[in-house]
Chain A
Amino acid sequence: MSTILAQVIVGGLLLGAIYALFSSGLTLVWGMMNIVNFAHGDFVMLGMYVAYVVWSLFGAGPLLGAPLAALLLATVGIVVYFGLIREIMKGPMLAQILGTFGLALLLRYSAFWWFGANFLTLPENIVGGTFDILGLRIQASRLLAGVVALLVTLGLHLLLTRTSLGSKMLAVAEDSTAAQLMGIRPDTMQAIAWAIAAGATGIAGALIATFFYIVPTVGETLAIVAFVTVSLGGFGSVPGALMAGLLIGVIESLSAYLIGAVYKDIVVYSLFLGFLWFRPQGLMGKS
């Protein structure tokens, strides 16, 4: 295998790890409450702007930016849950989709209004420079982002499968009335799920910001990426999101390399529509 191809694939995997991270938040919320957050990509966008503000105020990199973004976005998640989601969940489908879609617009254009439509970037050397591993040249920022995203996603999976909090959340997802009879508060668990999901997007956003342009409308593209990832990995499955995220990262990088950067999104979106046709339950889901 040529070095360039290997480099493209590694780059794709590192990007895919971040896709996996923010998509696992979407899949968690979908799996638990059967609601799709159309503002999910815009949560990531907020995380990116938090990283930008942290850098412009304190000159600090993702070491401060990522935890702060996670904390802020988790708060946003809780506020959104109690202020909006809890109510629209009882409403008709129209209200559910309009609610989060409207939220997406609100966040996107507030950012547009506040920060302007210009493309912002963090300084290229905010996380080290570029170095060689096994003959591959890899940017430190991408490596850090990919590895951290992978670890956080795995941590999230362990949280959901190995802890009592995870079991409680699973119980609410299975049958919230039964869970309530066992002394679990569905409201609290669902709020925690929103905090985790939004917090994950915060980390992902702060990490992407180190090597990606920051613009208010970036959330739309990222939301579609998350939809593709989640539908590919099977709704509600964090390991599925991880596999799918990595796969999409690689497909995106390969198509950018082989047929041109402008076509990479076309390939990914077509893949999504193709999957809805032939395997709506995802790669790992049961039919």
Chain B
Amino acid sequence: MRRFVWASVALALVLAYPLVFSSPFQQRLGALVLLYAIAASAWNIVGGYAGQVSVGHVVFFGCGAYSAMAAYAHFGLSPLVGIPVGIVISVAISAVVGVPTLRLSGHYFSMATIAVAELARLIVTNTDYLGAGVGLSGPTVPRNIFDLSFISALPYYYLFLAVLAITLGITWWMASNRMGFYLRAIRDSERAARSLGAPASRTKLYAFMLSAGLTSVAGALYAMMFGFIDPESGLGILISVKILIMAALGGAGLLFGPLVGAAILVPLEEISNNLLGGKGAGLTFVVYGAIIVLIARFQPGGILTLIKRLWARPRKTPTAIAVPGASHAP
């Protein structure tokens, strides 16, 4: 019951945010938080729940973004048409990368994802059809509502909120079903899970494909909001970094972890860019690198895990906290 109250309060706050903080900057900030939360939540499915750390997730983001822009630039269609195309291409790429590497140890998967992202960036940079180094633009003046081209960030805010809700819904549904149990078993001990008959490689692959498809939707939404995509903003490694760090900071493998991470890091980046200007870009990523190292070194579970632990501390005996998951004889 208390859980339900908290959830309603949180939902009400999220719904009311752009109406209370109604300056264009604040609304745009809110929309960006939600957008990155979608991408990071999608990453979370494979990186958090399946424990396979993709460091090239931008390739799926780029697929969505480029498909949406190409639908407009080449066929004069609504960028929305590009979304299913982007999903199909992303899922295909994830299968090509995932099938061979998910049978091997997790390092191979990470190396393959970084290589495929770079490969995609190089190919797109040299493909005139996709705008090469210059990029593709969306509609400058919206022809109708299906172009999803708005001046205000408010419509984007609610659109992204809806997509985020769907993404989190899918994640929750996945985690509370057979697949979620398989994934948790595999993450804890792949050998044990396999020996009990869990189809480890296949389950990880499904998680990767699902994650890829959802990430591509985030990419398409990004392209629609900015009306423009180029190799750096659509396929640069720094997008992968942002997606990954938001999920890891908030709490990888937790439903709301990526949202918390995005809510912390997106404002931080916007503010530091505004304060420091161009010089801030480099410094922002120095800080990002430091945060990632610190999370890995001290708190791999992210902020939410830390909060949960601190929250639980006063109520339990110290021994119960020192060995979480250990079974005590009654």
Contact = CB atoms under 8 A, between A and B. Distances in A.
Interface of A: 30, 34-36, 38, 83-84, 87-88, 91-99, 101-110, 112-113, 117, 220-221, 223-224, 227-228, 231, 262-263, 265-266, 269-270, 272-273, 276-278, 280
A103 B293 contact: yes
Nearest to B300: A95
Contacts of B114: 38, 223-224, 227
A263 B241 contact: no
Given A38-B55, A109-B286, A273 B122 contact: no
B53 A102 contact: no
A110 B100 CA distance: 35
B122 A94 contact: no
B172 interface: no
Given A94-B252, A112-B282, A273-B115, A280 B55 contact: no
Contacts of B296: 84, 88, 91, 94-96, 98-99, 102
B51 A113 contact: no
From A91, A223, A280, residue with most partner B Cβ within 10 Å: A280
A276 B100 contact: yes
Nearest to A260: B126
A69 B289 CA distance: 23
Interface of B: 47-48, 51, 53, 55, 96-97, 99-101, 104-108, 110-112, 114-116, 118-119, 122-123, 126, 187, 237, 241, 244, 248, 252, 279, 282-283, 285-286, 288-297, 300
Contacts of B288: 102, 105, 109
A44 B297 CA distance: 23
Contacts of B285: 105, 108-109, 112
Main secondary structure of the interface of B (DSSP, over half): helix
From A88, A92, A228, residue with most partner B Cβ within 10 Å: A92
Given A88-B297, A99-B293, A280 B108 contact: yes
B122 A97 contact: no
A106 B289 contact: yes
B53 A273 contact: no
Contacts of A98: 53, 244, 248, 292-293, 295-296, 300
Nearest to A117: B282
Nearest to B48: A94
A273 B282 contact: no
B83 to A, nearest CB: 26
From A228, A262, A263, A269, residue with most partner B Cβ within 10 Å: A269
B112 A97 contact: no
From A84, A106, A231, A270, residue with most partner B Cβ within 10 Å: A106
A203 B295 CA distance: 31
A34 B96 CA distance: 25
Contact of B123 (A93, A99, A228, A266): A266
A34 B290 CA distance: 23
B122 A84 contact: no
B248 A109 contact: no
B85 to A, nearest CB: 22
A227 B119 contact: no
Contacts of A108: 285, 289
Q: What 4 A-B pairs are tightest by C-beta distance, nearest first?
A: A102-B292, A106-B289, A105-B289, A99-B296
B19 to A, nearest CB: 37
B283 A109 contact: yes
B122 A231 contact: no
Nearest to A35: B107
B123 to A, nearest CB: 6
Given A106-B286, A277-B100, A87 B297 contact: yes
A173 B300 CA distance: 26
B108 A224 contact: no
A101 B285 CA distance: 12
B292 to A, nearest CB: 3
Given A97-B55, A98-B296, A105-B241, A280 B100 contact: yes
A120 to B, nearest CB: 16
A102 B101 contact: no
Contacts of B294: 102
A220 B285 CA distance: 15
Nearest to A223: B114
Given A88-B296, A98-B296, A276-B101, A220 B237 contact: yes
